[in-house]
Structure 1
Amino acid sequence: MRAQKEELLFRAMEQGLAGRPDEATASLGALESMLDVDAVPEDLGYQLFATAVRHRLAGAGAGSRNPYLHPDASERQIDLFRSLMAHMPLASTADALANAVLEALLGGQQEATLVDVGIGQGRQAVRLLQSLSRRGAAPGQLTLVGVDPSGASLAQAKAATERVAREVDASVRFIGVESPVEAMSGAEWSMLRALPGPRVVNAAFALHHVAEAPDSLGTARDAVLRRLRAVEPVALVMCEPNTDHFQAAPLERFGHAWRHFTHVFQLLDSLGVPGEERAAIKRFFGREVEDVVGTVDESARCERHETARMWKARLSRAGFEPLELLEHLRPHGVHPALTLEREPGVVGLRWRDEVLVAVLAARPAPAHG
């Protein structure tokens, strides 16, 4: 049955891309007649992909509307993200690995700066401060720069980090930069370079959101990485989904998305999460499916994921080299369902035969000449 459903789904996408919308609609109808979302856990995945294909056929997708920047959708999306962090080991394990690197770099410093790109509501920064405090290793003075396009999220991050700083008796100065990282001004970049060192950059599931021009191969994100290199950090730490939803052609991208999200959904189904929450988390990822599969206008897409190998190449071109500290760490909080695949500067989070998320750490490469 699964093979038949999958064949109909892929056939619909192929027919739509070939300019045969009536045939594609018929294939989707045949698929949807076979689905029982309430009784069969895997069928919600088929439904989410089928809906995205339908929206592509209609010429409308979700990419032009980033839910994190619209009040009517952002709170719901943030609530779903909280549920994801509570139940989904990919996010929590990536967070634990990244924070272990950040702790090693910031712990015990008299003065230091953390630039958090895509800080959101500051949950990762809060956990970092709490962990540093438990170890008695909080910096004497930490400057925390939150970069985020949402002013509301920045306000919440500031309040949360300042509250925790008081609770753990840490000295934290919060600076908010309300902007997508690719749109920051020259003055804002100069401000970062002037902050006290050591400076560390963190970007958790953020850099794949960098806006790109149509047909771009990543010019904007390359420019962001070069600008981050010019800040002269001791290290840059990244978490990213490990899949190509950016440079691959639409049908190939569809296949990558199907493989990636099917593994994510199967992992979720294996964890014993209550049915309603499990469905809600899948719908959180369904927004990403909608963006990757359903959006026709490439310039409107938000979820431009790349593989760890692609990010490593970008980091190298921007003047970074692997920070080998990462693959030697053995942090707490690694979920037993996952296997860690280690190489210089990268730890992949694998479930079954697929690395689903990558944590990368890099440092500025020495200048030659």
Structure 2
Amino acid sequence: MDFLATTALTSLHDLASRMPHSLTEADNQTLSDIYFESVEDLENPESLFNYTLTKAMRKHTTGTQSQEHIYLQRFEIPQIRLFELLIQQFPLANLSQHCTNTLLIDALAQHTHPVLMDIGIGTGFQVANIIEGLSKKENSNVKHLTVVGIEPFADAVTTAHENVKRGSAQAPFTVELVTEVAFIENYTLETLQALLPAQHDGIYANASFALHHIQHASQRKTVFELLKTLGIKALALSEPNSNHYEPNYQRRFQNCVNHYGALFRIIDTLDITNTEKAALKLFFSREIDDVLGNSEEVRVEKHYATEQWEQLLTETGFQLEKREAQFQYTHLNGTDLQTDLPNRYATVFEGEEITSLFWAV
């Protein structure tokens, strides 16, 4: 389905050109009409997409959130099932982690006492998988692995400790997990160095879909400069390819439609139930809600497009290196891991780069 070709979406694009302060009373009525028409037909993929957009746009114009959860109850699934779908079925998450995990495991295995600094460690699921993969790696030199996890949400850190403990239970090397409930942009070189062990022979940083949450471009530059000064061997950076940092509402709306429209089309290709498809889409609708619904001051889903990340890495002294690797698979549910780009890897759907995967040294 071509989301860009729908009549309602054409109207929404027109409304976005006058957001937020130039909407007429008739414009607001049109926005409400599309919203309520969409709510009445959420089983339809096109209507569900229009719903996510109009919900966010109405929030932006009124400053309040609609209370329509009663309409969505039929799409609720257990949280653990949603997590399984994201990791196992949704190819962007799966292929992206498979790529960066493979690169990190190969690099860490060359050291005896490496450090893995995970920025935005979350629940520690990815780190646990890296540890398990490193445990199975032939000819690995690792004797002791230090994991430094930085995460702003305390509940996630508690779960991270459990997952890392699980992942390291059978490891043929010792694992030490050091966590901090904090934002990476609040660190200085001294406070970051204090998290490192006294002895190590290589620091690798991983940031999977985390650094676009840093609010300001100047802060992003400072963080990259900090990591470079810290002396990391490499930064494994995974990020969506879409400019939602864009302050102009109309352009940001178009970028949002392009990116999340592709994500919704990917979900429609999955061999799962319609209820599960809708649940996945509503998971991403929370991001749309932030991109289009929140004010510039409080928005957090400020993604960069690929070229913006490339420019930032170059400005801060990093070099993009195409680290060679042998991947177990490069295709999942209609999406490909592109391995022939000159300076990065990428997940690609319908010829479009959806996520960009960098190895910066």
Following TM superposition, by how much is the alpha carbon of 1:82 offset from its aligned partner in structure 2, in angstroms? 4.4
CA contact (8 A) 1:146 1:175 kept: yes
Within a 5 Å distance, the mapping from 1:124-203 to structure 2 comes to: 124-136=126-138, 137=140, 139-192=142-195, 196-203=200-207
How many matched pairs? 342
Following TM superposition, by how much is the alpha carbon of 1:192 offset from its aligned partner in structure 2, in angstroms? 4.7
Following TM superposition, by how much is the alpha carbon of 1:79 offset from its aligned partner in structure 2, in angstroms? 6.9
The residue number in structure 2 matching 1:43 is 47
The residue number in structure 2 matching 1:58 is 62
Q: Does 1:360 align with 2:355?
A: no
Following TM superposition, by how much is the alpha carbon of 1:109 offset from its aligned partner in structure 2, in angstroms? 2.0
| Aligned counterparts of 2:315 and 2:208: Cα–Cα separation in 1 | 20
Aligned match for 1:110, one of 109, 112, 124: 112
The residue number in structure 1 matching 2:89 is 87
Could you tell which deviates more after superposition, 197-206 or 167-176? 167-176
Could you tell which deviates more after superposition, 223-232 or 268-277? 268-277
| Aligned counterparts of 2:246 and 2:346: Cα–Cα separation in 1 | 21
Query: Which string of whole-angstrom CA distances, capped at 9 and with x for unpartnered residues, describes residues 323-352 of structure 1?
Result: 221xx3241243341234443331121101
The residue number in structure 2 matching 1:219 is 218
The residue number in structure 2 matching 1:215 is none
| Aligned counterparts of 2:336 and 2:85: Cα–Cα separation in 1 | 22
The residue number in structure 2 matching 1:70 is none
Amino acid of the residue matched to residue 276 of structure 1?
A: T
Following TM superposition, by how much is the alpha carbon of 1:173 offset from its aligned partner in structure 2, in angstroms? 0.7
Unaligned runs of 5+ residues in structure 2 are 67-77
Give me the identity figure in percent: 25
**SS of residue in 1 equivalent to 2:148:** strand
Q: TM-score, normalised by structure 2?
A: 0.88
- Flag the 1:237–1:259 CA change in 2: closer, same or farther, 3 A: same
- Flag the 1:211–1:43 CA change in 2: closer, same or farther, 3 A: same
Within a 5 Å distance, the mapping from 1:1-369 to structure 2 comes to: 2-32=5-35, 34-35=37-38, 37-60=41-64, 80-136=82-138, 137=140, 139-192=142-195, 196-212=200-216, 218-296=217-295, 298-325=296-323, 328-336=324-332, 337-341=334-338, 342-363=340-361
Following TM superposition, by how much is the alpha carbon of 1:60 offset from its aligned partner in structure 2, in angstroms? 4.3
Could you tell which deviates more after superposition, 3-12 or 144-153? 3-12
Q: TM-score, normalised by structure 1?
A: 0.86
CA contact (8 A) 2:113 2:199 kept: no
| Aligned counterparts of 1:82 and 1:146: Cα–Cα separation in 2 | 23
Following TM superposition, by how much is the alpha carbon of 1:195 offset from its aligned partner in structure 2, in angstroms? 5.6
Following TM superposition, by how much is the alpha carbon of 1:33 offset from its aligned partner in structure 2, in angstroms? 5.4
Query: Which string of whole-angstrom CA distances, capped at 9 and with x for unpartnered residues, describes residues 216-248 of structure 1?
Result: xx0000100000111111100011000000035
**SS of residue in 1 equivalent to 2:219:** helix
- Flag the 1:319–1:61 CA change in 2: closer, same or farther, 3 A: farther
| Aligned counterparts of 1:33 and 1:187: Cα–Cα separation in 2 | 54
| Aligned counterparts of 1:171 and 1:220: Cα–Cα separation in 2 | 35
CA contact (8 A) 1:13 1:24 kept: no
CA contact (8 A) 1:108 1:140 kept: no
Following TM superposition, by how much is the alpha carbon of 1:211 offset from its aligned partner in structure 2, in angstroms? 2.8
| Aligned counterparts of 2:168 and 2:36: Cα–Cα separation in 1 | 54
The residue number in structure 2 matching 1:73 is none
**SS of residue in 1 equivalent to 2:358:** strand
| Aligned counterparts of 2:236 and 2:55: Cα–Cα separation in 1 | 35
